Structure formats: C-alpha cells, structure tokens
C-alpha cells in the first residue's frame, strides 16, 4: 500500500502522523511511504531522517494526497485537505465529527473511507488511540490552569499547592476517565485540594482505592457540581461519550457563580465541550472570559507538547497502521471488530451511530 503523511495545518499543530521509525516499519514490510517536505520539522524529524527510513519526500500536500492510498494524519482534515480526498482514499486520523457537521458532510461528499482514532476500541472497551492524547491533555490541563491562575494572566493569583499556613487551591475534575485521572495525578502532585466527579459508583470506588485520602470523590449530580464549581479555583472538564457530543455539565449560571479570575479548562472541547460557555480556541489565542472566569478551550492541546505527543500517539497507532496497510481497510476491519468500531464515514454515509445521532444525520 502507498501511505501518505502530509504536514499538519491546524493552528499551531506541530505533530506528525508517522515517525521515521514507523516509516521504517512500513517500508520494511514492503509498503511505500510518501511524506510532505517539512512534515516532521516541528518535532525535529528531518526530511533526511524520513528518507533514511525509506520514504519519498514530496513537495506539497497535493502531491502526497495524489500519491497515496492511505492518508495518516493527527488532526481532522481541514477544508482544503477534505477537497483532496478521493473515493479510493483511506483516511486514518482523529476526526471528532460529533462537534463538526461541516467536516462530516465534506467527508461524506468525498466518498473516502474514514477511520477515526477516537472511536477505535480495545477488547476491554477502552479507547487505545485516544488514551495517549487523553493522558497528555489531562496532565497539561493542570499545567495550563495553574498558569492562568497567576495574577498577571488575569487569574485569582492562587498557587495550587498553597504554602505552609495558606490553604491550597481547589481543583474540581469532571470525569474520572483517562484524562481526569491524569489531571488528578498532576493536581495531587502540586498538593492541590482535588475533587473528582463521575457518574459510575464503580469508577469512584476505583479512584478512591488508587488515590486514597489525597483526593475526594463525588457522584456527578447537577446540584453537587454546582456547589463544587462555585468554590473552585480550577475546574477541568474531562468527560467523554465515545463518538458523541460531550454532555454540558456546567451551565452558564454555574460559571457566573464562580469567583472572578477562576479558570476552567475544557478537555472535551473536541467533542463540543462540557461547559455551556465553551467554544473552541487555538494555541495562538487560547483563552477568553465569561463572567470574569478564564476559559481555556484549545481544541488540540497536545499539539503544544508536540514531540512527546507524536511519540506517544505513534506508539499506539502503528500496529493499526500496519494492519490496514497489510490487509487493506475492508479485510482489516473484518478481521478486527475493534478497528471496525473506528469507521465513521464510508461510501458517502455516516457509519458510526453516535456520530450520526449527534449530527442528526442518517446512519448506516
């Protein structure tokens, strides 16, 4: 199979779809790989490194799309990239279609087969290709939140860990999944006062066993969230419904109840966000104010730590890339129902039920 790796063009996105090591695995198995010139420079992978791994360097994205059967990316294709997709293309990347109807309609019109990293499953029901970026985003959420709590950034001037004789900052985490746990690890490490909300009693018990008395756990009800949010310095939205739009757990009224200079970080913004006041931002212009509360809603958070993110994502995606290249999309998905769960668009149709329902589009 001919595998193509274009340069990512989303705002301040420096990650790359395949590392030179992954390219070497593909070319070693007899596949050809074409890489857009400069695609890896944001993470210090030179064109020469890709050539040494067996790739052919092409001058622009148009050449890569024209010369490839499978396109491997990191972020969802931008409109100009969607326009280059063909019916015989296989696209393998993050899509997050539930919050992006124009992209979904563009992919449908292309006729391409589109497999989304975020809905590929594992036998235990987890999301193996979302996990590494959820780990990164969870850890970054506390780092970013702590930064914007600083007074010169417009924040309350609160140090999350406090100091002897001064209480620590209050961190509320909505969702006890991968992103939420990683956020909690960072917040606990900073000695913050941490509460995690979840709707699963089983998950809350697991979190209690892992973190002990270093955190509090709470069942996720509207009243309990409202009370906790009002007193929080930092609220992190880390809820996920695979393929579907994120539930709006924090209302505008709850935001208005927070103290001026408090911070919210919406990790779920790729799926529409879990704060009623959220809208997607970029690394170039990452925050905005609503009722005096700082909102950090960058839709590609892990892109800020591009090298770490590229390596982590590549470790997770390579086995699937190899399977798709070796068998082709149809045979690979027939052999692996968990990979087939990643199929979001094919033959001009939405093929993932949760995505179709979120976008009010026909399924199947």
Catalytic residues: 96, 270
Residue with tokens 């999350």: 160
Other C-beta atoms closer than 10 Å to the C-beta of 236 total 32
Q: Give the three-class secondary structure for 157.
A: coil
Gap between the Cα atoms of 245 and 270, Å rounded: 9
Distances (CA, A) of 74 to 25, 34, 120, 228, 233: 19, 16, 14, 35, 32
* DSSP letters spanning 113-130: EEEEGGG---TTS--TTT
Sign of CA dihedral 311, 73, 78, 347: negative
Is-contact 289 154, C-beta < 8 A?
yes
**Cα 40 to chain center, whole Å?**
20
Sign of CA dihedral 265, 271, 274, 279: positive
> Tell me, what DSSP letter sits at residue 340?
H
Gap between the Cα atoms of 304 and 315, Å rounded: 19
For residue 179, the cross-strand partners are none
Sign of CA dihedral 93, 237, 280, 350: positive
CA dihedral 187, 190, 191, 194 (to 10 degrees): -10
**Cα 346 to chain center, whole Å?**
22
Q: Give the three-class secondary structure for 57.
A: strand
């Amino acid at each position: 199979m001919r595998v193509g790796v274009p340069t990512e063009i989303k705002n301040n996105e420096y990650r790359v779809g395949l590392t030179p090591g992954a390219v070497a695995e593909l070319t070693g198995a007899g596949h050809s790989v074409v890489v857009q010139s400069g695609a890896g420079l944001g993470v210090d992978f030179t064109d020469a490194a890709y050539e040494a791994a067996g790739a052919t360097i092409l001058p622009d994205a148009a050449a890569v799309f024209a010369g490839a059967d499978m396109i491997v990316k990191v972020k969802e294709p931008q409109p100009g990239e969607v326009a280059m997709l063909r019916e015989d293309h296989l696209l393998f990347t993050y899509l997050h279609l539930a919050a992006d109807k124009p992209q979904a309609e563009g992919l449908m019109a292309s006729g391409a087969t589109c497999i989304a990293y975020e809905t590929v499953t594992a036998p235990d029901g987890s999301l193996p290709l979302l996990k590494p970026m959820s780990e990164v985003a969870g850890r970054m959420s506390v780092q970013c939140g702590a930064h914007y709590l600083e007074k010169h950034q417009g924040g309350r001037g609160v140090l999350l860990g406090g100091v002897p004789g001064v209480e620590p900052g209050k961190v509320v985490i909505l969702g006890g999944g991968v992103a939420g746990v990683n956020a909690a690890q960072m917040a606990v490490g900073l000695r913050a006062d941490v509460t995690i909300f979840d709707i699963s009693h089983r998950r809350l018990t697991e979190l209690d066993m892992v973190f002990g008395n270093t955190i509090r756990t709470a069942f996720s009800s509207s009243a309990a969230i409202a009370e906790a949010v009002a007193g929080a310095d930092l609220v992190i939205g880390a809820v996920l419904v695979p393929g579907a739009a994120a539930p709006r757990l924090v209302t505008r009224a709850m935001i208005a109840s927070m103290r001026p200079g408090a911070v919210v970080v919406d990790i779920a913004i790729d799926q529409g966000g879990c704060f009623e006041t959220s809208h997607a931002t970029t690394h170039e212009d990452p925050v905005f104010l609503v009722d005096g509360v700082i909102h950090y809603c960058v839709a590609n958070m892990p892109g800020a730590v591009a090298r770490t993110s590229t390596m982590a994502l590549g470790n997770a995606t390579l086995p699937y890339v190899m399977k798709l290249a070796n068998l082709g999309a149809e045979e690979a998905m027939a052999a692996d129902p968990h990979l087939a769960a990643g199929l979001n668009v094919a033959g001009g149709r939405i093929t993932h039920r949760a995505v179709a329902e979120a976008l009010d589009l026909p399924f199947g």
